[in-house]
Amino acid sequence: MSPHSCPLRLDGASWHAGVALEAPNPGRIYDFLLGGSHNFAADRHVAHAAMAAIPDLPQQAAANRAFLHRAVRYLVDTGIRQFLDLGSGVPTAGNVHDIAQQAAPDARVVYVDNDPIAVAHTNHLLAGNPAAVAIEADLRDPQAILDNPAVRAVLDLAQPVAVLLVAVLHFIPDADDPAGIIRDLTRAVRPGSHLVIAHGVNDIRPGDAAILTRLWTGTSSPLSLRPGDQIRTLLRGLNLVHPWVVWAPQWRPDGTPPRRPRLSANLVGVGRVP
């Protein structure tokens, strides 16, 4: 056995991961911030350092996750039954298929991540659920994702689909053209589809953004936080759903409107493909 690999236990099932577990992974760090258990010592080390500098970081992560839940419920209510979750990370509380299929049992979900550990965990969780699957793929090649036989087996791309880009675009550097990725995705799906984004900003809490960028430099996917104006341009050309592009806690909140929502440091939005 390589010193950089180890057997993982997936609820009683052994899986041997030939990946470097010493390298912290943003998806597993996010899982830890959300109170999950699918993370390793290297991930927790980065998370603890970040929380020591930014004590409300778990609340920021929770606000993002709560937005995802509200967006999925909204899309189900509008008639969407297909979800493509790009950069889905490791399974944690309230996964997309949990939310969507609770509201609409016929909903279908494909999870996509470039971390084989996340994909293995997710497929183990999905065993016995023919309407959901996880694949290992790279967001920077959207056509390869859409052409993947496993995706085509679950989703009918001739029908509207919700493309979820929640807490993933800020791991795509400008050199990899996140706007171009979005253009390719929106051109490939049929009108009536929706795009959902949540993206961390660097111009509201710039000191905290600098700390996170430094800490995430040593992870498998360094951060590329962006100013709010640049994030808003990513949804250009789509028909934005009210309340447009706002802070994560402000998007169709449940109950009392949130106080100081900009502290979430994440802008979110949902756009309909015309």
Going from N- to C-terminal start, the domains of the chain cover 6-272
- Pairing between strand 162-166 and 194-200? parallel
Please tell me the predicted confidence (pLDDT) of residue 22. 64
pLDDT at residue number 14: 37
pTM over 0.85: yes
Beta-bridge mates of residue 5: none
Q: Which residues pair with 270 in a beta bridge?
A: 196
pLDDT on residue 99: 97
pLDDT of residue 65: 96
- Please state which of the four CATH numbers 1.10.443.10, 3.40.50.150, 3.40.50.300, 3.30.420.340 is assigned to the domain occupying 6-272: 3.40.50.150
pLDDT of residue 88: 97
Strands (E), 92-229: 108-113, 132-136, 162-166, 194-200
Q: What is the pLDDT of residues 188-235, one digit of tens each?
A: 999 999 999 999 999 999 999 999 999 999 999 999 999 999 999 999
Whether the Cβ atoms of residue 93 and residue 34 lie closer than 8 Å to each other: yes
Task: Please give the pLDDT value at position 11.
Answer: 40
Residue 197 to residue 229: CA distance in whole angstroms: 14
For residue 21, what pLDDT is reported? Answer: 56
Residues of the chain with pLDDT under 70: 1-22
pLDDT recorded at residue 256: 83
Identify the bridge partners of residue 57 per DSSP, sorted by sequence position: none
